[in-house]
Amino acid sequence: MRVSAIGDVIKVWVWALGSLVVGLWLTPVTYNGGKALSELSATKDFNGVVNKVAAWSGAAGLEDFFKVCWPLAALIALFPLIEWLRLGGCSGGRGPWGIRLPHIAASGDEAGQAVRPNRWGLLQALTGFLMTFGIFVLIGYMMVKAGSFRWDADGMAWRRELLFDIGWTLALAAVIEVFFRCVVLGIFLRAMKFSAAIALAALMFGGIRFILSGFGNAETFDGETMSAVHLTGVIFGGGNLAERLVIVFLPWFAFGCVLGWARWRTASVWFPAGLLMGWLLAERLFSKATNPVELPDRAAGYLSSGSVQTGIIPLIGVLAVGGLVHLITHGYRHGRTACD
C-alpha cells in the first residue's frame, strides 16, 4: 500500500463523515425555519418560489429536510475534497469528467484499476437491469402471495408517471455509480486489495441507507424541540438498532458488494449502473402498487420489512443476483474480456 493512497481513503471518509455531521446539525435548524415559513405563508402571500418552499416545508418531516441538508453539505464540501485529493493532477488514465484514474488493471496493485471504454456497455447495462428488475419484482409478487403486502386499491397507481420514474431511476443510478463505483471505489482500489476496497465502498453505500432508516424513530418526537445531538442519538442509538442492521443494512451492504464486484470484473460502471437501476425501479413501482401489511410476528418482520429492498428475503435475492453476476462475468479478467 502507498501512504498517499491510504491518505486519499482517509480523506474520502473525512469528507463523508464531515458532511454527515453538518447535515445532522442543519436538519433541526432548517426544519424549524421551514415550519415557521409555512405558518407565515398562511397569513402573508410571498412570491411563487417562496410559496412552493413554504408548502413543501409544511408537509415535510425531519427525514425530508435531512435529505436536502446532507447532500447539500456533501456537494459544497466536494469542491475542497477534489482539491485535497489533487484529482486530475496525474498522468494516469482518466475516467468520467476527467477524474484521475490509474491505467493499470490488476487486483491489489498500487495503481488500482482504470475504468475502461466498454463497447458492450449498453448491453451490459440492459442485462443488469433485467436481472435485478425481474428478480425483485418476482420477490415482491411472492411476498404479496405470502401476505406480507397487499395490492393497492388503485390497480393503476404504478403506471402513473411511469416515464418519470424510469427517467429518475436512470439518472439516479448513473450518478450513484459514477460516484461510488467509479470515483470512491477507484480511490480505494489504489490503497488496498480489491476485496477490501469493494467491502469498504459497500460499507459507505449501505451506511447511507441505514442512517436514513433511523428517521423512523424520530417520528415519535417533536421535531421543533429536537436538537442535532438528540437527533443523532435517536438515529444511531434507537431501540431497534440491531433490527435495522439486519433488515436494512445487510441487504444494502450486500448489494453494494455485488455492484463493486460487477465494476471490478468489467472495469466499467455500465453493468453496475444497470443492476442498480433495476433494483431502484422495482422498489419504486412496487411501493406504488402495494401496501405493506403489519406483521404481528417479529420473525416474519425480519423476513420482509415493508420493501423489496429490506429484509432477509430481499437479501437472498441480492445473493442470487451476485451469483448471476459472477457467472456472467466469468470471461472477464480485471477489465479484459475473452473477446479482447
Supply the pLDDT for residue 2.
Answer: 64
* E strand or H helix at 150: strand 149-151
CA–CA distances in Å: residue 185 to residues 1, 10, 59, 256? 15, 13, 37, 11
Q: Distance between alpha carbon 5 and the CA centroid of its chain, in Å?
A: 24
Return the closest-CA partner of residue 99 out of 17, 187, 9, 200.
187
Return the closest-CA partner of residue 206 out of 112, 62, 318.
318
Q: State the pLDDT confidence band at 37, using cuts at 50, 70 and 90.
A: confident
Q: What is the pLDDT of residues 8-31, one digit of tens each?
A: 899 999 999 999 999 999 999 999
Supply the pLDDT for residue 334.
Answer: 52
Kindly tell me the burial class for residue 207, based on how many C-beta atoms sit within 10 Å of its own C-beta (0-12, 13-18, 19 or more): middle
In sequence order, which residues have a C-beta less than 8 Å from that of residue 291 and are 6 or more positions away? Answer: 149, 150, 151, 152
What does the pLDDT average to over 284-292?
A: 91
Q: Do 201 and 32 contact (CB within 8 A), yes or no?
A: no
Q: Do 221 and 230 contact (CB within 8 A), yes or no?
A: yes
Q: What is the pLDDT of residues 196-226, one digit of tens each?
A: 999 999 999 999 999 998 888 777 777 777 8
Mean per-residue pLDDT of the chain: 83
CB-CB neighbours of 98 under 10 Å: 9
Q: What is the pLDDT of residues 44-63, one digit of tens each?
A: 777 778 888 888 988 888 88
Cell of 288: 406504488
Cell of 38: 409555512
Q: Distance between alpha carbon 229 and the CA centroid of its chain, in Å?
A: 25
Q: How far apart are CA 302 and CA 311, in angstroms?
A: 5
Dmax over Cα atoms in the chain, in whole Å?
A: 69
Helix (H, G, I), strand (E, B) or coil at 43: coil
Q: What is the pLDDT of residues 228-286, one digit of tens each?
A: 888 888 888 776 788 889 999 999 999 999 999 999 999 899 999 999 999 999 999 99
Type of residue numbered 146 = A
pTM of the model: 0.86
